[in-house]
Structure 1
Amino acid sequence: MNYSVHESSYIDNEVTIGEGTKIWHFSHIQSYSNIGEKCVIGQNVNIACNVQIGNGVKIQNNVSVYEGVTLEDNVFCGPSVVFTNDLNPRSKYPKGSSKYVKTLVKEGASLGANSTIVCGITIGKNAMIAAGAVVTKDVPNYALMVGLPAKQKGWICECGTQLDSSLVCTNCNRKYSIKEKDLVEI
C-alpha cells in the first residue's frame, strides 16, 4: 500500500488510490472511485461510487463528493463544500445513477468553505469560488465568483491573487488577456 488511510476510515472494493495520498479520520471511499496521487482527503469525507479525482486534490473536512462529479488535478475543496447530482430529487421517485447530472471542476479550481455547487455545470480552470457562494451556472477559467447565486466579481491569477484591470498579477507577474469570455495566460 503506497498511500495512507486512518484506521477509522472505510475503503470499499474496486477503488483505485494513487501513491502518496492521505485519507484521514472517518472517511468513506466507495466502490469504483478513482483517487489520484498525492491527494489529501480530510476528516469525514465521503467519495461516492464512480467519482474521478485527479492528482494533488485537497478535500477538506465534511465534504461529500457525489457520483457524477469529476475533480481534475490540483482542485481544492474547502470545508463543508456541497455538491449535488440531481436537479429535482424526490425521495419517493429515485432516479438511479444513470440519471445523475454531471459536474466537472477543472484543474486548479478552488471551492471555498460552505460553497454549494449545483450539478450540471463546469467550473473553469483555476477559477475561485468564494466561501458560501452558490454556483448555478458554468464558471469561466480564472473567474472569481461570489454570492448567492454566484456572480463573477473579477479575475483571479493561477497563484490565487485577484487581478486588477491590467490583468497582470501583482504577485507573480503572470499576464492574461480576455478571449471569448475566458481569461487566458499570455
Structure 2
Amino acid sequence: MITDTEPFVEASADVGPGARIGAGTRVWHQAQVADGVEIGTGCTLGKSCYIGSGSRIGDNVKIGNHADVFGAQLDDDVMISPQVVLTEDRTPRATRPDGQRQGPGDWTSAPVIVRRGATVGAGARVAPGIEIGPYALVGIGAVVLRDVAAHALVLGNPARAVGWVCRCAGTLDDRLRCPRCERTYELAADLLTKIQVGR
C-alpha cells in the first residue's frame, strides 16, 4: 500500500542500506539509490534512474526514468526529466597514470547544484560544478557548461540563455509577463528581481 506517511520502494529497486528516504517518496522499478544518499519527502524516482553517492535531494523532487544523478544537490521542487545526466567528476579517467584502476579517491568531485523549482529537460547533460538557479528551465537535449541564472531559459549545445521563464514554467513575453499565470517580473543586472503576482 502506498501512503504519504511512509516511503514506497518497489521490489525491483536497489536502495543502499545507509540511504535515507523521506515520507511519501516513491522509488519505482529498477531505480538505484546509492548508500548514504539523502532523499526528502514527497519525491518520485522514476524507473531505472540512478542516484549516486553523495547526492542530497530535497522535498517534492521528481526524477524521470533513466536519469543519472551523480553526487548532485537538488533543492526542493526540482524536476529532473527522463534521461538527464548530472555529472560530478572534473577529471574523468578509467585508470591512473600508473595504469591502476581509478577509485573514488582519484576523482575530482564538483557536484551539480539545482536550485529550488528548476527544471532540467529530457536528455539534457550538465557538466560538473554547474549551478542551475531557482526556477530556471534547461531545454530538451541541452548541454550545460556554464551556470544558469534564476528563471533563465537555456537551450542548445552548448546551452545559451534565450529568454526567461516564470515560476509556473511559462515563457515570459517582451514585457516580462507570463501569459500563462499573469505574473510580471522586473530585470536588473541581468537577473529577474521582483515579482508581481498574477493569478
* Superposition TM-score, scaled by structure 2 size: 0.89
- % identical aligned pairs: 35
CA root-mean-square deviation? 1.4
2:88 is matched with 85
1:75 is matched with 78
Aligned pairs for 1:55-74 within 5 A:
55-67=59-71, 69-74=72-77
Among candidates 47, 50, 55, match of residue 51 of structure 2: 47
1:95 to partner: Cα distance: 6.1
Q: Structure 1 stretches (4+) deviating beyond 2 angstroms?
A: 93-99
1:12 to partner: Cα distance: 1.1
- Unpaired runs of 5+ residues, structure 1, are none
1:169 to partner: Cα distance: 1.2
1:110 to partner: Cα distance: 0.5
1:161 is matched with 170
Distance 1:156 1:21 in 2: 28
2:109 is matched with 100
Q: Which amino acid aligns with 1:55?
A: D
Structure number with bigger Rg: 2
Aligned pair count reads 185
1:179 is matched with 188
Contact 2:87 2:111 in 1 (8 A): no
1:119 is matched with 128
Distance 1:40 1:62 in 2: 13
Distance 2:190 2:104 in 1: 35
Contact 1:174 1:185 in 2 (8 A): no
- Unpaired runs of 5+ residues, structure 2, are 97-101
Q: Which amino acid aligns with 1:111?
A: V
SS in 1 for 2:186: strand
Deviates further, 132-141 or 86-95: 86-95
1:14 to partner: Cα distance: 1.4
1:21 is matched with 25
Distance 2:165 2:125 in 1: 20
